[in-house]
């Protein structure tokens, strides 16, 4: 390339730089997108419908009714029981640094809110905070969210985007898989619905526990969802995996998720699901099935 540029006399030409924050390039179709258009389209590519990652703050705004968000437990902080450090960096300092950058509340934000006027206990993994990893604070916040849902008989909704358990907390982070799953089972005993929404990526210990235990499991298109990465699985089973393995559409086809829903339809789908659960609690009004009422699977190309 260097030789070709030299002989064509192109090396001397000044490079055209794209001002940061004004343009964005779609990682799937390579279309250059005006950042304001992308934002207006809920961070979905206007050309190929690729779903870009959405910051948690924007996600909360998009899902809950305006003015209804009351956040809980934002002051919970991780301690460092193992005195963990990588090279010279201590885990406590890593948490402090990330908190300064991303905001308090560790990798999960939970609140009471309404969606379409219906009260819910809703929580969002914060992928920006150490890859949305689940340590003791995340586990505790999920458990408390579910306890509030049981106490007030409000549906629980969880949005997952996580790399899995937080290795810096060792076995305490693995324990959160059991803890959140136990809290989830109390929702079932109290007959309180739980909707799980899987975003890109939902992997590791989060995928292997509470995220896959929803009464309804919804995924955004083309999200990576799975426990171990494909390379590890291929090496273990000594077989090549089929194309699209561990993506939302593949999991829908194989019965692991109930719906694949585009971001723009997500809030309306949650509203319809919540209304169906409301009706199903009342035997007089109980008609049809969730499938009749709710399922609306967008065509995939």
Q: CA 192: distance to chain centroid?
A: 21
Among 45, 172, 211, 225, interactor with Zn ion by CB under 5 A: 45
Q: How many CA atoms lie within 13 A of 115 on its CB side?
A: 27
Residue 144 is a binding residue for Zn ion (CB under 5 A):
no
Closest CA to 211 of 258, 246, 160: 160
Among 5, 6, 11, 29, interactor with Zn ion by CB under 5 A: 29
Candidate segments 11-19, 28-36, 108-116, 216-224, binder of Zn ion by CB under 5 A:
28-36
| Beta carbon of residue 242, minimum distance to Zn ion (angstroms, whole number) | 24
- The token duo for 260 is 């694949």
Per DSSP, helices labelled H in the chain are 2-8, 35-40, 56-63, 91-102, 136-152, 170-189, 204-207, 230-237, 248-253, 263-281, 290-293
Closest CB to Zn ion among residues 37, 93: 37
| Beta carbon of residue 46, minimum distance to Zn ion (angstroms, whole number) | 8
| Beta carbon of residue 33, minimum distance to Zn ion (angstroms, whole number) | 8
DSSP 8-state symbol, 258: S
Among 32, 47, 287, 289, interactor with Zn ion by CB under 5 A: 47
Closest CA to 64 of 98, 99, 112, 13: 112
Among 23, 39, 50, 224, interactor with Zn ion by CB under 5 A: 50
Candidate segments 31-39, 68-76, 200-208, 212-220, binder of Zn ion by CB under 5 A:
31-39
Residues near Zn ion (CB under 5 A) = 26, 28-29, 31, 45, 47-48, 50
């Amino acid at each position: 390339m260097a030789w070709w540029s030299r002989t064509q006399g192109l090396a001397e030409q000044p490079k055209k730089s794209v001002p940061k924050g004004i343009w964005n390039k779609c990682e799937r179709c390579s279309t250059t997108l005006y950042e304001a258009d992308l934002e207006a389209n809920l961070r979905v590519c206007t050309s190929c419908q690729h779903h870009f990652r959405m910051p948690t703050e924007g996600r909360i705004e998009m899902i809950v009714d305006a003015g209804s968000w009351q956040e809980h437990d934002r002051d919970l902080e991780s301690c460092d029981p193992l005195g963990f450090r990588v090279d010279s960096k201590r885990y406590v300092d890593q948490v402090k640094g990330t908190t300064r950058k991303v905001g308090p509340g560790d990798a999960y934000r939970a609140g009471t809110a309404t969606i379409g006027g219906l009260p819910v206990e809703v929580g969002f993994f914060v992928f920006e905070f150490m890859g949305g990893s689940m340590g003791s604070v995340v586990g505790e916040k999920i458990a408390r969210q579910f306890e509030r849902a049981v106490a007030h008989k409000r549906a629980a909704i969880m949005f997952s985007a996580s790399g899995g358990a937080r290795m810096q907390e060792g076995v305490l982070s693995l324990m959160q898989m059991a803890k959140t799953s136990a809290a989830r089972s109390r929702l079932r005993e109290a007959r309180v619905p739980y909707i799980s929404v899987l975003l890109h990526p939902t992997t590791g210990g989060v995928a292997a526990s509470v995220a896959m235990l929803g009464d309804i499991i919804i995924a955004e298109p083309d999200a990576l969802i799975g426990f171990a990465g494909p390379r590890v699985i291929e090496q273990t089973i000594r077989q090549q995996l089929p194309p699209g393995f561990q993506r939302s559409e593949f999991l829908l086809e194989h019965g692991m998720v109930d719906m694949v829903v585009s971001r723009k339809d997500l809030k309306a789908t949650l509203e319809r699901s919540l209304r169906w659960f409301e009706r199903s609690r009342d035997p007089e009004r109980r008609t049809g099935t969730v499938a009749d009422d709710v399922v609306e699977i967008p065509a995939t190309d």
